[in-house]
Structure 1
Amino acid sequence: MSSTCKYLIPGLEKGLQLLLLLAQQHRELTFAEILRLVDMPKATAYRAIQTLVHLDFIEQHPRTGAFSLGRKVLSLGLGYIASLDLTQLGQPIIEQLRDRSQCNSHLVIRDGRDIIYIARVSGAESKINHVTVGTRLLAHRTSLGRMLLSGLSRAEFDELYPDDELPDDAGSKQVFWNMIQADRLRGYVIGESFYRRGISSIVYPVYNRDSGVEAVISIMMPMDSIPAQERQRLQNEVRSAAQKLTEFIGGMTSMKAI
């Protein structure tokens, strides 16, 4: 939001700033930590937080006193997700994929350095502790994130990850970039225990009209490696689902220049 807007409401701006901060940190924050991370007077921050707590947009832990996003924010996020044409178009596609593969199926988008699950269905016999719609994970920690990042140019990637090392000691940015480029040229990712041991996934991209990666469709199964006799069939099912959604949104499958 531009600071030159003559209709700016300072209190609303501060409240939204605090909500964005909590969303970006992926953890509870104490009041002292919030003050270190925002540029606002202590009294202003305190009043804004207490207002948001009162309205259920922020929750305060009864024992630690730390703050996290509240139920009202989740309802807003789910409302946004439900409004996306991508979700409406993708839901029946991943349901069909689940039926054909007998695996948990997902539709996922990227928001900055996070991935967000916008649709999901569980296989009938699945014993995997499943993510829910609205779940955010770090893109560089998941095979789905790798495929979503494959649509970026090097300049866009460097802007997203400006340091030589990835966040939370996840390794070299250059090594990760090389991995993404191999994924991009291959056109899919098979992530065997990439994020969690004992869990494998097959991921294909959904392309938009600019040939960028708009989303990914994936299946997940509880095994360290996908049986060789099933691998090609499952790949074909996920690829077909991703191609169908690409066609529905008018996407182009040619690769974006890097």
Structure 2
Amino acid sequence: MQMERPDVDDKTGGINQNYIVPGLRRGLAVLGLFGRSRPTMRLAEIGRELGLPRATAFRLVYTLETEGYLLRGKDSVTYSLGPRVLTLGFDYLHSQELIEIAGPLLDELRDRVGASTHMGLLDGCDVLYVYRAPSHQRLSSNRRVGSRLPAHFSSLGRALLMDLSDDELAELYDDNYNFHALTERGPGNLDELKRCLEEERQQGYIAGSFIGDGIISIAAPVRDASKRAVAAINVSDYESLPCMEDLHGTLKDNVLKTAADISHHLGYI
């Protein structure tokens, strides 16, 4: 059965314009004007190219400059692409490289231990799931690619936080952060998180999470040539699976070996 797509017009089979955000489309159009042959542009040129009134072009450019997607030149009249655009591109390419390298190794780990494996990246205070190899068991962890969890109470998240200094943690978790927004489990404030991470640094891996009853996990950081954690992997599944019984033994050894193999491919020595 074909799934219904609300963004497709039933009459024409094309994109339904009712779902398009005009301002976003115009902002993307502004960014699309820049390229190797035209690295800088003036406000008047941008407005003329897109057929926009000067006031509209100014608001678009001002917003993009404020968000870091455009940079104003030293002459104060020309604009070029800003670092935010480059960051988006590099983050995308880096995540694809990670998945290309880590995917087969995480599949092998899943087959070796008989439980679901995952990889995540740190995005602000969240861990973003970018890869999942579900187990072949009837029951398996249902954490999907693209889903997020607060980093401080998930095993993947804390494996990523392990390499952050106290200053970096304080910058990430300001006084307004609610550690118990989703659950009363886990660290309740920054000091408790620091103590938790210090214990986990000493053992070199993360055992368990505070997500919910019945699920257990082992996680380890993945590092690149910078010797900093750029991702984390885990085995996470129902604690009733036989492979999850030897949490601090065979299972831990397998996770650490796979993390080391991925790190080696990324230039970590």
Q: TM-score range by the shorter chain?
A: 0.5 to 0.7
- Which residue of structure 2 aligns with residue 158 of structure 1? 170
- Which residue of structure 1 aligns with residue 52 of structure 2? none
Distance 2:202 2:100 in 1: 29
User: Which structure 2 residues correspond to residues 20-39 of structure 1 after superposition, within 5 A?
Assistant: none
TM-fit CA distance, 1:162 = 1.8
Is 1:222 the counterpart of 2:234? The answer is: no
TM-score, structure 1 normalization: 0.64
C-alpha RMSD over aligned residues:
3.2
Q: Is the 8 A contact 1:197 1:224 kept in 2?
A: no
- Structure of greater Rg: 2
Q: Is the 8 A contact 2:222 2:263 kept in 1?
A: yes
Matched residue count: 188
Distance 1:176 1:211 in 2: 22
CA deviation digits over 1:79-132, x for unaligned, max 9?
Answer: 947962011101001000001011000111111111111111111015135122
The letter of the residue matching 1:10 is R
- Which residue of structure 1 aligns with residue 10 of structure 2? none
User: Which structure 2 residues correspond to residues 91-240 of structure 1 after superposition, within 5 A?
Assistant: 91-163=103-175, 166-168=178-180, 171-191=188-208, 194-223=210-239, 226-228=244-246, 231-240=248-257
CA deviation digits over 1:199-224, x for unaligned, max 9?
Answer: 00010111122221111110112127
Work out the percentage of aligned pairs sharing the same amino acid: 29
The letter of the residue matching 2:201 is R
Distance 2:177 2:146 in 1: 28
- Where structure 2 has 5 or more consecutive residues not aligned to the other structure, the ranges are 1-40, 44-56, 68-87
Deviates more, 1:99-108 or 1:136-145: 136-145
Distance 2:61 2:261 in 1: 42
Distance 2:133 2:115 in 1: 9
TM-fit CA distance, 1:141 = 2.4
TM-fit CA distance, 1:180 = 0.8
- Which residue of structure 1 aligns with residue 81 of structure 2? none
Distance 1:214 1:158 in 2: 19
Distance 2:224 2:101 in 1: 14
CA deviation digits over 1:126-175, x for unaligned, max 9?
Answer: 51351221111111121211111011011100000122864345612101
Is 1:85 the counterpart of 2:97? The answer is: yes
- Which residue of structure 2 aligns with residue 10 of structure 1? 59
Structure 1 residues 202 and 153: CA distance shift in structure 2, 3 A: same
Structure 1 residues 12 and 243: CA distance shift in structure 2, 3 A: same
Q: Is the 8 A contact 1:104 1:126 kept in 2?
A: no
CA deviation digits over 1:53-76, x for unaligned, max 9?
Answer: xxxxxxxxxxxxxxxxxxxxxxx9
Distance 2:95 2:162 in 1: 26
